[in-house]
Amino acid sequence: MSLHPRLDDLLELRHQAHTLGLSSHHLVNSSFAGLYASVFRGAGVNFEEVRDYREGDDIRYMDWKVTARTDRPHLKIFREERERSVMLCLDKGPHMDFGTRGTFKSVQAARAAALIGWAASRLNDRVGGLVFGDPRAGLQHFRPSRGRRALWQLLRTLTEPGSAPDASVDCLAGALKRATTGLPTGSLVFVIADLNREVMGLERVLGDLTQRNSVVLIPVDDPADREIPAMGVVTFTGTDGRLIEIDTADTQAQRAFRRAWEERRDLLQAIAHRLHIILLPVRTDEEIHLTLIRALEQRARSRGV
């Protein structure tokens, strides 16, 4: 497994549709962006009028009922919704360099950001990003802009190796406060991070964030976050840099480990519910495209879209 995503792979996600049974030259946005639009933007367009068909018009928007009734080709005209600012906030802390199956959290987070970014770009949304967690680089802010410049810069940043400090630095709360600086009301903020942490302190920050924006939390999970593998006595490095020796084969410790994870996730879900935040978990051992497709389909069904 590669510790860091390759830029070519993130760019190729524009075309990744083979998992839906489509030929590789079809854009991923033909399926994924449609779900993205239905969940986060409604239909994406508003019906305006019907007019006579003109040479060069897209026949996908033909109004066949009016055409049959009048015996002349007619076209439906839609008015696109105003563009929206989309901010992709990504965790690049050293704790993201972790993965026991499939891939590393850092790679899966970058793939999720790329898929969402390409879908938003195709809908002419302004896409920007914020990368946090690397003590050496600090907060890296890319203001949402038209076109793909900011998205390209964001994806390139995610492929660069981060620093390796002696202790992990948790700056999620500070990053979220910075994320919406200058964002217009009604922006869409995605937080893609390792959320296997104490989250009570985040509720106030998230609450402030949701006052003017729509927020989507995407926890990046590894199977070992919930079920610690039985490997005997193993030495781990704690977040403060100290070494910790754990007997991973102790069944009582395994149950306590799982219970602690479930309590943290239940708390995160409760916070998301209270604040009307969308929660879309992804796993390192699952195909990211299908995971997000299933999550958006489920969300769309729950809303009756």
pLDDT at residue number 82:
58
| Domain co-membership, 253 together with 173 | yes
pLDDT digits (tens, 9 = 90+) for 96-130: 988 889 999 999 999 999 999 998 888 888 999 99
pLDDT digits (tens, 9 = 90+) for 246-270: 888 888 888 998 999 999 999 999 9
> What is the enclosing helix (H) or strand (E) of 52?
strand 45-52
> Is 59 within the bounds of a domain?
yes
> Is 24 within the bounds of a domain?
no
Asked whether 172 and 131 are in contact (CB, 8 A), the reply is no
Q: Which CATH number do you get for residue 240? A: 3.40.50.410
Question: What are the CB-based long-range contacts (under 8 Å, 24+) for 225-234?
Answer: 225/196, 225/261, 226/258, 226/261, 226/262, 227/254, 227/257, 227/258, 228/253, 228/254, 228/257, 228/258, 229/100, 230/254
| Domain co-membership, 88 together with 121 | yes
| Domain co-membership, 72 together with 151 | no
| Domain co-membership, 87 together with 128 | yes
Q: Reduced to 3 states, what is the DSSP secondary structure of residue 57? A: coil
In angstroms, rounded to a whole number, what is the distance separating the alpha carbons of residues 127 and 284? 25
Both structure tokens of 28: 């991923």
The range of the structural domain enclosing residue 62 comes to 45-80
pLDDT at 53 over 60: yes
| Domain co-membership, 59 together with 157 | no
> Is 26 within the bounds of a domain?
no
User: Which of 80, 98, 130 corresponds to the end of one domain?
Assistant: 80
User: Which of 80, 99, 132 corresponds to the end of one domain?
Assistant: 80
| Domain co-membership, 13 together with 124 | yes
| Domain co-membership, 129 together with 200 | yes
Q: Taken in order 248, 250, 256, 258, is the CA torsion positive or negative?
A: positive
Beta strands in 248-305 (DSSP E): 278-279, 282-283
| Domain co-membership, 204 together with 265 | yes
| Domain co-membership, 151 together with 217 | yes
Return the amino acid letter for 159: T
| Domain co-membership, 71 together with 167 | no
pLDDT at 149 over 80: yes
Q: Reduced to 3 states, what is the DSSP secondary structure of residue 236? A: strand
pLDDT at residue number 119:
87
pLDDT digits (tens, 9 = 90+) for 63-98: 898 999 899 999 887 655 557 889 999 999 888 988
In angstroms, rounded to a whole number, what is the distance separating the alpha carbons of residues 105 and 97? 6
> Is 192 within the bounds of a domain?
yes
Q: Residue 169 — pLDDT band, cuts 50, 70, 90?
A: low
Distances (CA, A) of 240 to 121, 157, 244: 40, 26, 11
> Is 25 within the bounds of a domain?
no
Closest CA to 140 of 192, 169, 175: 175
> Is 37 within the bounds of a domain?
no
How many CB atoms within 10 Å of residue 235?
Answer: 8
| Domain co-membership, 134 together with 190 | yes
Mean pLDDT, range 208-217, rounded to an integer: 89
pLDDT at residue number 47:
59
In angstroms, rounded to a whole number, what is the distance separating the alpha carbons of residues 303 and 39? 8
Number of domains in the chain: 2
pLDDT at residue number 280:
94
> Is 27 within the bounds of a domain?
no
| Domain co-membership, 239 together with 266 | yes
Asked whether 156 and 113 are in contact (CB, 8 A), the reply is no
Residue with tokens 């910790």: 244
> Is 166 within the bounds of a domain?
yes
